[in-house]
Amino acid sequence: MNRIIIIDDRQDRDKPNLIKDSQDKLDELSRGGKLTVSMGIDKSLPLDSSLSEFSLIAIHRTYLVNNDLFNAVLDYIKKTGKYLILFSGGIGQSTILQSGHMLSVDASEFYSEKLPSFLYNYSISDMQHPLLKYMYGESWRLTLLLEYRYYLWNYDDIGDIDNDDEADRVEKLQGLLWNEDSDVSIERVNEEICVEIDKIIN
């Protein structure tokens, strides 16, 4: 069983997108030992003492910043290969980082109706690419391939994109899709898109 922890220093945080049924399901996960909900991290102990039993860690970003734990937690995630969700009310656009091991997301999107079922499925299975599936669903790879093809269609040479934000996004897509930063031909992308569509149809 994969165990999950949600660290939020404001348990009374307004969660308009989390209906009562979803909250009840989260409570059931807690009672079953799959989910731990905590107000914070004991700073007197090494991070591994507090987080070692959890493979998925969700933390309110402001709590980390206010307690000087932000860099320490990011280093811990890099070192251990665990999955991290950073949620906060000030995050305007959801972003997948560190080759799919970290998700930065708005708190209202994190505390949504899909959260309980995602956490349950993650806890009982060997889920591959869990944060990508949380963001894009089971067809996450198709979504990212279509986005990458868009850049191929719009630029003669994808390696010479002069917009820094778009260049960064292309590099992230390459890392998430192929775990590499070299250019991939549109022929290969189209072949992989067909494969992903066949999976959905069949």
Angle made by CA atoms 70, 72, 77, in degrees to the nearest 5: 95
Task: Convert the pLDDT of each residue in 42-91 to its tens digit.
Answer: 988 999 999 999 999 999 999 999 999 999 999 999 999 999 999 998 78
Output the pLDDT for position 2.
Answer: 92
Q: 114-124 and 20-31 are packed helices; what angle lies between their axes, rounded to 10 degrees?
A: 20
Residues 45 and 8 both lie in one domain: yes
Q: Domain range spanning residue 51?
A: 4-135
- Listed in sequence order, the DSSP H helices in 6-100 are 20-31, 47-51, 61-66, 70-80
Q: Which of 135, 151, 175 is the last residue of a domain?
A: 135
Residues 78 and 15 both lie in one domain: yes
